[in-house]
Structure 1
Amino acid sequence: MTRRDAARNWQRIVDTGRTFVSEQRPLRLNDVAHEASVGVATVYRHFPTSEALLETLAHPSLEDLIAYAERALRDDDAWLAFVGFLTAGINAQLTDGALQPVFAAAGYELPKTAELVGHLEALAADLLDRVRTAGLIRPGVEHTDVVRLMCGVVFAASVHATPAERATLTRRYLDLVLDGLHAGNGNRSRSCSG
C-alpha cells in the first residue's frame, strides 16, 4: 500500500468516524471499517482503539479553542476575553460531539491529546487569573469550578431539549452562570453569542 493509499484510508476512517459522532452512534471500529469500506485491520492499524479515533476527531476543535484562547489573552478587556472563551468552548462542545467525551476522559490514548488538553487548560487558567487579578470574578472561584460549571451548562442545554433549542438554552444558561460569577453588577456578563 502506498502512502497516498494510507492517507486516503485514514481520511475515509476519520470522515466516517465524524459521521458516527455527529449522528450520536456508538463509535465501534468494526462498524466504522464497514461503513468506510476499508478493512478492519486497516482501521486498527491507524486507530488501535475507538478512544484514539475519538480523540483524533476532537483535535481540530481543541486546536481552534487553543487559538481562540491565545487571541483572548491579547484582548485588553479581561472579562470579555474570559466570557468569549467560555462561549467559544461551549459552542464547540455543542457542534463537535467528540469534545465532551474527550474533556470528560480520565486519561488519553494519544500523547497529542494530552498535550492539546494540557495547553488549553493552561490558557484557560491564565484567562481566569486575568479576571481574578482585575477583581472581576467572585473571590474563591477556581479553574475546576469554571470547568464543571461549563460542563453543567452544556448538559443542562442538551438534556430534555431538541437540537433546535440547544443554542438558545446554552446562551441563556451561560448568561445565568456568568451573572453569578461576575464580581460586579452583572451588566457586562452577557455571553458573546447572545
Structure 2
Amino acid sequence: MTTAPMRKDAARNWQRIAEVGRRLVDEGSPLHLNEVARLASVGVATVYRHFPTPEALMEAVATPGLEALVTRAEQALAEDDVWRALTGFLHSTMDAQLTDPSITAVRSAPRNVLPHTTELTTTLDTLAAHLLTRAHTAGIVREEITWEDLRPLMCGIAYAANIHTEDQQERLESGRRYLAVTIRGMRP
C-alpha cells in the first residue's frame, strides 16, 4: 500500500520541524516536542502529527546519515582489499557518529520507532556483518569477533570521545585514536 504524498503546507511544516530537530540535536539539546513546535513556529498538534514521539523526530534527523552509512558499506563491499574495506567502513562510521549525534542516539537505542529506520539499521548491520565475514574468511580478523560485538563498541567509542571535550576536532582525533586501538585488537 502506498501513501498519498503530503500536501505542500504539510511538507513545509515537516521540513521546518526536522530542521529545528537537527539544530537541537547538533546543539546537544533535548527534543521536547512542545519546544520544537515553538521554535518551528507551528502548532504542537502539527509536530505530534508528524512526529508522535521525540524518538521519531530523532530518527528522522538521523535518516540522511544512516542512508550515507548504508551507501558507504555497499561501497566497502565492492572493494577488493578486504582489510581496507572493513577499516575504512569503521572509520567512516566513527566519523559519522562523532559529527552527527543523532546517529549514535539511534544506533544505541534499544529499538526503533519508524519502519524506515528499522530498515536502514537492519541493512547497515547486515552489510557490516558481511564486511566482517569477508575479513574472517581472509583470516585477517579474529574469528570470535562479531558485528554484535563491534556495533556497541563503536557506540562506546563515540561516547568516550564525546564526553572529554566540546571541541569537534578533538573529539574526532580521540575517536579515531580509540578506534585504532580497537582495530589493532581485531587482528589474529
Normalised TM-score (structure 1):
0.90
- The one-letter code matched in structure 2 to 1:34 is R
Alignment partner of 1:72: what SS? helix
Verify: 1:34 aligned to 2:33, yes or no: no
Identify, as 1 or 2, the structure richer in helix: 2
Counterpart CA distance in 2 for 1:35 and 1:158 is: 26
Aligned-pair CA distance for 1:120:
0.5
- 2:176 match: 171
Q: 1:113 aligns with which of 112, 117, 120?
A: 117
Counterpart CA distance in 1 for 2:166 and 2:32 is: 26
Aligned-pair CA distance for 1:152:
2.1
Counterpart CA distance in 2 for 1:93 and 1:173 is: 13
Unaligned runs of 5+ residues in structure 1 are 184-194
Alignment partner of 1:69: what SS? helix
Aligned-pair CA distance for 1:153:
1.6
Counterpart CA distance in 1 for 2:152 and 2:57 is: 25
Contact persistence 2:72–2:89 (CA under 8 A): yes
Q: Which moved more, 1:155-164 or 1:12-21?
A: 155-164
Unaligned runs of 5+ residues in structure 2 are 1-5
Counterpart CA distance in 1 for 2:74 and 2:87 is: 14
Verify: 1:146 aligned to 2:168, yes or no: no
Q: 1:161 aligns with which of 153, 161, 165?
A: 165
Verify: 1:90 aligned to 2:94, yes or no: yes
- The one-letter code matched in structure 2 to 1:37 is S
Aligned-pair CA distance for 1:106:
1.4
Residues 136-172 of structure 1, C-alpha deviations (whole Å, 9 max, x = no match): 0023111111112212221221122232411111111
Counterpart CA distance in 2 for 1:51 and 1:139 is: 35
- The one-letter code matched in structure 2 to 1:116 is L
Contact persistence 2:33–2:47 (CA under 8 A): yes
- 2:130 match: 126
- 1:190 match: none
Aligned-pair CA distance for 1:108:
1.4
Contact persistence 2:94–2:176 (CA under 8 A): no
- The one-letter code matched in structure 2 to 1:150 is M
Counterpart CA distance in 1 for 2:43 and 2:166 is: 36
- 2:3 match: none
Aligned-pair CA distance for 1:62:
0.7
- 1:45 match: 49
- The one-letter code matched in structure 2 to 1:182 is R
Contact persistence 2:76–2:89 (CA under 8 A): yes
Q: 2:78 aligns with which of 74, 78, 87?
A: 74
Contact persistence 2:107–2:155 (CA under 8 A): no
- The one-letter code matched in structure 2 to 1:121 is D
